[in-house]
């Protein structure tokens, strides 16, 4: 992974995933986080890679290593809509939201959907850009600071477990669902 991006393997490891767990990669993009989670949950687990861009999901599917085949399910869905992830209520042990909070228009709807799909005390990993970095990250006005993200989830009843450096240009937070 290039030095200017977040470190999916290390960041996902902080969720303490175990074989057999069910996880969603929300706004999965090209699937770096889904691949990392698949390696940890194994054949008895399941990773739902959810994205609104169907073409991006096809690309992610093509780049899935053999250990992820049958573990990762690609879901064309809208994480900002009730039921948009197509995941059952309270079905997941964990969820990941990496490098996409800055793109979310309806953050309250996103948080409601995360609450719906996570089990009670399920864990949530949020990673995003700490700045714009001369256009390498989001536009300066789109950057969501760690403080703003923390407040969003705390106000929704999540409990903060940890804050960490998620790579040279990213912050990371881990929450427990209400």
Q: How confident is the model at residue 62 (pLDDT cuts 50, 70, 90)?
A: confident
Share of the chain above pLDDT 90, in %: 81
Distance of CA 81 to the CA centre of its chain: 16
Q: How far apart are CA 34 and CA 127, in angstroms?
A: 14
Fold of 8-176: Rossmann fold (3.40.50)
Q: Give the burial string for 117-138 (b: 16+ CB within 10 Å, else e).
A: bbeeebbbbbbbbbebeeeebb
Distance of CA 156 to the CA centre of its chain: 17
Question: pTM of the full predicted structure?
Answer: 0.94
For the cut 80, the answer to whether the pLDDT of residue 6 exceeds it is: no
For the cut 90, the answer to whether the pLDDT of residue 2 exceeds it is: no
Q: How far apart are CA 120 and CA 137, in angstroms?
A: 33
Place of tokens 């609450």: 115
pLDDT at 61: 86
Domain range annotation of the chain: 8-176
pLDDT at 104: 96
105-144 pLDDT tens trace:
999 999 999 999 999 999 999 999 999 888 788 999 999 9
């Amino acid at each position: 992974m290039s030095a200017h991006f977040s470190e999916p393997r290390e960041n996902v490891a902080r969720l303490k995933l175990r074989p057999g767990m069910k996880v969603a990669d929300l706004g999965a993009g090209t699937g770096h986080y889904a691949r990392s989670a698949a390696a940890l949950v194994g054949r008895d687990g399941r990773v739902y890679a959810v994205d609104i861009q169907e073409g991006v999901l096809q690309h992610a599917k093509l780049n899935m290593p053999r250990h992820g085949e049958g573990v990762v399910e690609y879901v064309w869905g809208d994480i900002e809509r009730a039921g948009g992830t197509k995941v059952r209520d309270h079905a997941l042990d964990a969820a990941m939201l990496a490098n996409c909070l800055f793109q979310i228009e309806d953050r309250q709807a996103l948080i409601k959907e995360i609450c719906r799909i996570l089990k009670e005390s399920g864990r949530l990993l949020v990673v995003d850009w700490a700045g714009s970095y001369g256009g390498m990250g989001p536009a300066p006005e789109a950057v969501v600071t760690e403080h703003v993200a923390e407040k969003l989830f705390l106000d929704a009843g999540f409990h903060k477990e940890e804050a960490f450096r998620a790579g040279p240009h990213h912050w990371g937070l881990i929450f427990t669902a209400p």
